[in-house]
Amino acid sequence: MKIKILYFAWVREQVGRSKETVETNASTVAELVDELICRDAAYGAVFKDLSQIKVAVDQELSDLNTPLIDVLEVAFFPPMTGG
C-alpha cells in the first residue's frame, strides 16, 4: 500500500523533506519506523530516541502500536509547543 508521510519542525529538518509517499507493507507505525530506519541513515538519527517523537495517523494523535489499516497519511513530529 502507498502511505503519505509528513514531517514537521526539527524532524522535517533532519529528514531533509516535508513529505514523501512510500510503498510499504508495515502493519503498525512501529513497523513503518523500522522500514524507514533501514532505508537511510538520516531516519536512524531522527528515530533514535522515540520518546522525542510524536505520531499522528490520518490526522489523529496516535502511537507506535497504532495499526496502519486503510491509512492514507502518517505524520511524525516532536512534542508540540503551541499556545
The residue ranges that bind another protein (CB under 8 A) are 6, 8-10, 56, 59-61, 73, 75, 77-83
Distance in angstroms (rounded) separating the CA atoms of residues 6 and 67 = 17
Question: Beta strand 54-57 with 19-23: parallel, antiparallel or unpaired?
Answer: unpaired
Between 38 and 82, whose beta carbon lies closer to another protein?
82
- The three grid cell numbers given for residue 13, joined into one nine-digit string: 529538518
Between 31 and 54, whose beta carbon lies closer to another protein?
54
| CA pseudo-torsion sign 57, 58, 60, 66 | negative
Q: How far is the CB of 38 from another protein (least distance, A)?
A: 26
Q: How far is the CB of 76 from another protein (least distance, A)?
A: 11
